[in-house]
Amino acid sequence: MTKPRKKEEEKLCVQRLKALSELNRYRIVTELSKGPMMVGELGERLNIEQSLLSHHLKVLRDTKLVATRRDGKAIQYRIAYEQGFCEFEQGIDLGCCKLVYE
C-alpha cells in the first residue's frame, strides 16, 4: 500500500512534470544529469540561444529541479538533488516518479 501524498506534494510533482514536458527543458535536465555546468557551456552543448536558455532555466529553478552556484560573473547549474531527488543508474527519482534516460 502506498503512502497518500499531500496536495502540495502532488501539485509540485505536476509542475515538475509539466516543466519537463517541454523538449528544451528535458534536454537541459538530461545534460545536467551528467554533472554541473556553466550556463555558457550548457547553451553551446544544446545549441540554445542565451535568452531562450535563460527562460527555460528559470522555469526549472522555479520548480526546484535545478539549482545554481555563482562563480564570479558566471553561473553554474546542477540538478537540485537536495530537493529529495536521487540518481539511479540512468535517471532521476523525482519522488513522485522516476525519469529514466534511454
- What pLDDT digit, counting tens, does each position of 32-60 carry? 988 899 999 999 999 999 999 999 999 99
The pLDDT score that the predictor gives to residue 48 is 94
pLDDT band at 96 (very low <50, low <70, confident <90, very high): confident
What residue has cell string 529529495? 84
C-alpha pair distances (Å), 26 with each of 3, 46, 90: 28, 11, 14
**Spatial distance between the Cα atoms of 85 and 2, rounded to a whole number of angstroms:** 18
pLDDT band at 82 (very low <50, low <70, confident <90, very high): low
When divided into structural domains, the chain yields a total of 1
Would you say residue 72 lies in a domain? yes
- For the whole model, what pTM was predicted? 0.81
Domain that holds residue 31: 7-100
Would you say residue 13 lies in a domain? yes
pLDDT band at 10 (very low <50, low <70, confident <90, very high): confident
Q: Which residues fall within 8 angstroms of residue 39, CB to CB, at 6 or more apart? A: 50, 53, 54, 57, 74, 75, 76, 77
